[in-house]
Structure 1
Amino acid sequence: MRLAIFGATGRSGRILIEHALQLGHQVTALARTPERIPPHERLHVVAGDVRDRAPVSRTIQGADAVVSALGRRRRGPAICTEGMRTILSAMAADGPRRLVALSNYGVAETRRRSPYVAVSWLLERPVLRDKERMEALIRASDTDWTLIRPPILTNGPRTDRYRTGAELRLTFTSKVSRADLAAFVLSELRAGEHLRQGVAITT
């Protein structure tokens, strides 16, 4: 599969690229700092900002699917919303229909599910608001999307012992490794079991 990956230099994005290459996929990744991504024969890195249409269009050209691992810092710009707006515009004109985006548990229909969500909004309001607006753009698009909503992410190993589900309720003890998250993203791209759904994941 030919994958276009955004958010490639983040912690989740780097592991996602690593796993995709291990599985034999061809990867094109967008990065403002390409030198931060180790070279690989099946990896092509496009230099640029996800908010700029030209490099985004080059990244998705010829791709079978798009994966967004964009993430916002507390005091940074609304990169998920702004970047996804550009990605969706490019996909509508030049790209594939399949889209998998990493979001956060506690947005949209999961917003009022538990005390865990209430505390998350108290501590991470700018981050969650950005993800919620990103989700709204994706839901309104004409793409075959899947939104993946993880809890706290760890740097632990891949275990393949994770649970997923649209109705899965996460709590203060919920967590998943970035390696397991990457495995689920790539599995969902192959199987397409959660088309037009938001799905939570936890170990």
Structure 2
Amino acid sequence: MTNVLILGANGKIAHLAEEQLLSETDAHMKLFLRNASRLQVADSKRQTVIEGDVTDAETLKSALSGVDVVYANLSGSNIESQAKTVVAAMDAAGVKRLVWISTLGIYDEVPGKYGEWNHQMLDGGYLETYSAAAKVIEASDLDYTLIRPAWLSNKDIVDYEITQKGEPFKGTEVSRKSIADVVVKLIEDPTKEIRRSLGVNQPGTDGDKPSFY
């Protein structure tokens, strides 16, 4: 049985991952979020809600007790500070495995016109902060996996391919359900993709921008 701490547990991808973890694994989950009243627990025997801010080091360190894997589904202009607190708290608690949702483009790895469009859409505070947060994670001694999704859709499909850091990003879009599946597979086998950064896209979606733009 794996004990998972999910940071940002009310996010859309997090919800999908939680549902999949309940249906496909025996994992126990600590669901960490700022406003606990926003989240409905599906299985009280396997899910515990913790209200707190990720930048509150003491609350986070307490939540890490007994945890095997941390899955961080965080966002916000202060995501670099969040990353620093997560790394420090995990180090203090002796927890090593981290799955961190980032975004495409943090290495300027998106080629062609799509890469230019992505910069136009995300430059000016988003790419810069997510890149800074990724550098914090990669400079740590944690057993991390960064996940860099393409632009996200709500399609009811699981269909994806993976590129590694240093390879050109493929495709333009991917479903949230696919990203949740990547997360769950890493939780099921935490020895996979350690200290790697994964670009994730839906095959056959190459183009100048996602189909929904």
Judge same fold: TM > 0.5, yes or no: yes
Deviation at residue 109 of structure 1 after TM alignment: 5.7
| Structure 1 residue ranges without an equivalent (≥5) | none
> Equivalent of 1:30, from 15, 29, 32?
32
TM-score relative to the length of structure 2: 0.84
Query: Which of the pair has more CA radius of gyration?
Result: 2
After TM superposition, the structure 1 = structure 2 runs for residues 14-29 of structure 1, keeping only pairs within 5 Å, are: 14-22=15-23, 23-29=25-31
Deviation at residue 185 of structure 1 after TM alignment: 1.1
Residue 176 (structure 1) aligned with residue 178 (structure 2): no
Residue 2 (structure 1) aligned with residue 3 (structure 2): yes
| Structure 2 residue ranges without an equivalent (≥5) | 203-213
1:13-51 Cα deviation digits (max 9, x unpaired): 222222222222101121111111111221111111111
For residue 185 of structure 1, what is the amino acid of its counterpart? V
Distance verdict in 2 for CA 1:170–1:54, change over 3 Å: same
Q: Secondary structure at the match of 1:8?
A: coil
Deviation at residue 175 of structure 1 after TM alignment: 1.5
1:33-82 Cα deviation digits (max 9, x unpaired): 1111111221111111111112211222111011111123xxxx32x211
8 Å Cα contact 1:116-1:170 kept in structure 2: no
How many Å separate the matches in 2 of 1:109 and 1:14?
A: 29
After TM superposition, the structure 1 = structure 2 runs for residues 146-185 of structure 1, keeping only pairs within 5 Å, are: 146-159=145-158, 161-166=159-164, 167=167, 169-171=169-171, 174-185=172-183
Deviation at residue 102 of structure 1 after TM alignment: 0.7
TM-score relative to the length of structure 1: 0.88
8 Å Cα contact 1:46-1:55 kept in structure 2: no
User: Normalized per residue, which structure has more helix?
Assistant: 1
State the aligned residue count. Answer: 194
How many Å separate the matches in 1 of 2:38 and 2:20?
A: 17
8 Å Cα contact 1:14-1:37 kept in structure 2: no
How many Å separate the matches in 1 of 2:94 and 2:152?
A: 30
Q: Secondary structure at the match of 2:59?
A: helix
Q: Secondary structure at the match of 1:63?
A: coil
How many Å separate the matches in 2 of 1:43 and 1:136?
A: 31
Structure 1 segments of 4 or more deviating over 6 A? Answer: none
- Give me the identity figure in percent: 26
